[in-house]
């Protein structure tokens, strides 16, 4: 096989039928129910975030609708000691890793404490800079390698980010130094209003790894089992000292780019509809119904459980007293440089003056 023959994996078809025997670790219903639950939780979190924005109680928010399988698959196979270096649409992976939904609402509400989540403490905060976090992930992986730690950095970014120099630079050193990092491209077919076909002339995004000297492969990003399997293999490969991999997850952004975007202005609804037929959640529900007798009562109980959990998280977020505006200075440096310290003092004084009178 030449390097440019990119391998593609789908295990569970859109109709919920396995296309191949499921790997042993996914052949039990408990694991599949767990994956399903986390995808439903992520979608419930997402719908609430959009609603909170709509009622003016959350900042601009990037929806993950349709992309739940990517984040849940990644989170399922990462070990606690690995480090997630996420972009701004990876809430499902963050939730699956243990970041609390109220913490994520704080982040999207513009509160710095949302990036200082209680755990996993070494995971990175969201990178709003497209692709800017890829060199950080390579740096984390270099630290693991130098310390002889069997840990892996997992860097997730979009199709658009693969056109950025930062991403090429990170992949280059990762390949050269055989770093324990897995790059995951969430190819949701759009980079804001730029379609994939206008983004790059490369036949696949996975093949971008080849120039950096390591393997890239594609996976059905709407198939949580396939994502978990392929990412799990890449993690094992990197953890045992065999270097990086790139995985292109083929999926689709069913929502607007963010809550302040209107995708109808640049893409036709006829493109979106067929992707609903590939819904990552529906196919697992069909599979569970056919093979594990998943009932309407179980479905309703799960939706109720997730709904309650997310309502409580939203209440906790809304009940959190806001930070003072000086908080914007407090998470940038270990020791604030003198000029910024002076600006911080000014902000504190101005806020106090306004409060006094
Ligand atoms: C360096 C940089 N350039 C531009 C932007 C504005 N911007 C935000 S998201 C986005 C598109 C990103 O597309 P993609 O990487 O495919 O991720 P997706 O939004 O589809 O998840 C752009 C251009 C930014 N945040 N950072
Ligand atoms: Mg994209």
- pLDDT tens for residues 180-195? 999 999 999 999 999 9
Looking at the fold, whether 116 and 182 belong to one and the same domain comes out as: yes
Q: Going by CA atoms, what residue is nearest to atom 11 of ligand 1? A: 191
Average pLDDT over residues 310-331: 95
Looking at the fold, whether 203 and 81 belong to one and the same domain comes out as: yes
E strands present in the chain = 8-9, 83-85, 153-158, 181-187, 190-191, 194-195, 216-220, 245-250
User: Would 1 be classed as within a structural domain?
Assistant: no
Looking at the fold, whether 222 and 339 belong to one and the same domain comes out as: no
Tens-digit pLDDT profile for residues 198-233: 999 999 999 999 999 999 999 999 999 999 999 999
- Separation CA 39–CA 272 (nearest Å): 20
Looking at the fold, whether 343 and 230 belong to one and the same domain comes out as: no
- Separation CA 57–CA 80 (nearest Å): 32
Looking at the fold, whether 215 and 308 belong to one and the same domain comes out as: yes
The answer, yes or no, to whether residue 83 has pLDDT greater than 80, is: yes
Query: What pLDDT does residue 352 have?
Result: 87
Looking at the fold, whether 351 and 313 belong to one and the same domain comes out as: no
Query: What pLDDT does residue 59 have?
Result: 98
Query: What pLDDT does residue 3 have?
Result: 62
Among 191, 208, 254, 257, residue to substitute to test ligand 1 (most atoms within 8 Å of Cβ): 191
Query: What pLDDT does residue 1 have?
Result: 43
Q: How far is the CA of 131 from the centre of ligand 1 (A)?
A: 8
Looking at the fold, whether 334 and 198 belong to one and the same domain comes out as: no
User: Would 138 be classed as within a structural domain?
Assistant: yes
Looking at the fold, whether 170 and 281 belong to one and the same domain comes out as: yes
Looking at the fold, whether 223 and 340 belong to one and the same domain comes out as: no
Average pLDDT over residues 44-60: 98
Average pLDDT over residues 143-152: 98
User: Would 31 be classed as within a structural domain?
Assistant: yes
Q: Cα 301 to chain center, whole Å?
A: 26
Among 66, 89, 128, 130, residue to substitute to test ligand 1 (most atoms within 8 Å of Cβ): 130
Which ligand places an atom closest to the C-alpha of 161?
1
Range of the domain at 347: 325-357
User: Would 230 be classed as within a structural domain?
Assistant: yes
Q: What is the pTM of this model?
A: 0.97
Q: How far is the CA of 323 from the centre of ligand 2 (A)?
A: 32
User: Would 287 be classed as within a structural domain?
Assistant: yes
What's the whole-number average pLDDT of the chain?
Answer: 97
Looking at the fold, whether 330 and 194 belong to one and the same domain comes out as: no
Domain count, the chain: 2
Q: Which residues are catalytic?
A: 253, 257, 266
Query: What pLDDT does residue 357 have?
Result: 76
Q: For position 37, which CATH number holds?
A: 3.40.50.970
Looking at the fold, whether 74 and 128 belong to one and the same domain comes out as: yes
User: Would 182 be classed as within a structural domain?
Assistant: yes
- For β-strands 194-195 and 190-191, DSSP reports them as antiparallel
Report the atom number in ligand 1 closest to the C-alpha of 253. 20
Tens-digit pLDDT profile for residues 260-301: 999 999 999 999 999 999 999 999 999 999 999 999 999 999
How distant, in Å, are the alpha carbons of 38, 58, 180 from that of 51? 20, 9, 39
Which ligand places an atom closest to the C-alpha of 257?
1
């Amino acid at each position: 096989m030449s390097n440019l023959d990119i391998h593609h994996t789908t295990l569970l078809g859109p109709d919920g039928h396995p296309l191949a025997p499921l790997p042993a670790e996914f052949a039990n219903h408990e694991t599949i129910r767990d994956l399903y639950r986390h995808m439903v939780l992520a979608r419930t979190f997402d719908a609430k975030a959009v609603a909170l924005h709509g009622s003016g109680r959350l900042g601009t928010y990037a929806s993950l609708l349709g992309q739940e399988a990517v984040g849940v698959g990644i989170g399922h196979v990462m070990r606690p000691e690995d480090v997630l270096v996420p972009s701004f649409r990876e809430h499902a992976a963050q939730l699956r890793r243990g970041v609390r939904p109220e913490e994520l609402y704080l982040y999207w509400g513009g509160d710095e404490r949302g990036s200082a989540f209680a755990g996993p403490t070494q995971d990175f905060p969201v990178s709003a800079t497209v692709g800017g976090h890829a060199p950080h992930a390579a740096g984390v992986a270099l630290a693991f390698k130098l310390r002889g730690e069997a840990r892996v950095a997992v860097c997730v970014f979009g199709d658009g980010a693969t056109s950025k120099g930062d991403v090429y630079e990170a992949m280059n050193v990762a390949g050269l130094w055989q770093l324990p990092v897995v790059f995951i491209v969430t190819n949701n077919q759009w980079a804001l209003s730029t379609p994939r076909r206008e983004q790059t002339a490369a036949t696949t995004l996975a093949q971008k790894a080849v120039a950096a000297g390591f393997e890239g492969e594609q996976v059905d990003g709407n198939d949580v089992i396939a994502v978990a399997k392929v990412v799990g293999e890449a993690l094992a490969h990197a953890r045992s000292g065999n270097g990086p991999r790139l995985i292109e997850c083929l999926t689709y952004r069913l929502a607007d780019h963010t809550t302040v975007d209107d995708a109808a202005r640049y893409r036709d609804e006829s493109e979106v509809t067929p992707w609903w037929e590939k819904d990552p959640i529906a196919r697992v529900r069909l599979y569970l119904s056919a093979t594990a007798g998943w009932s309407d009562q179980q479905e309703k109980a799960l939706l109720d459980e997730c709904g309650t959990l997310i309502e409580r998280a939203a209440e906790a977020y809304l009940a959190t007293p806001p930070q003072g505006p000086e908080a914007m200075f407090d998470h940038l440096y270990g020791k604030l440089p003198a000029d910024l310290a002076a600006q911080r003092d000014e902000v504190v004084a101005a806020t106090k003056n306004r409060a006094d009178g």
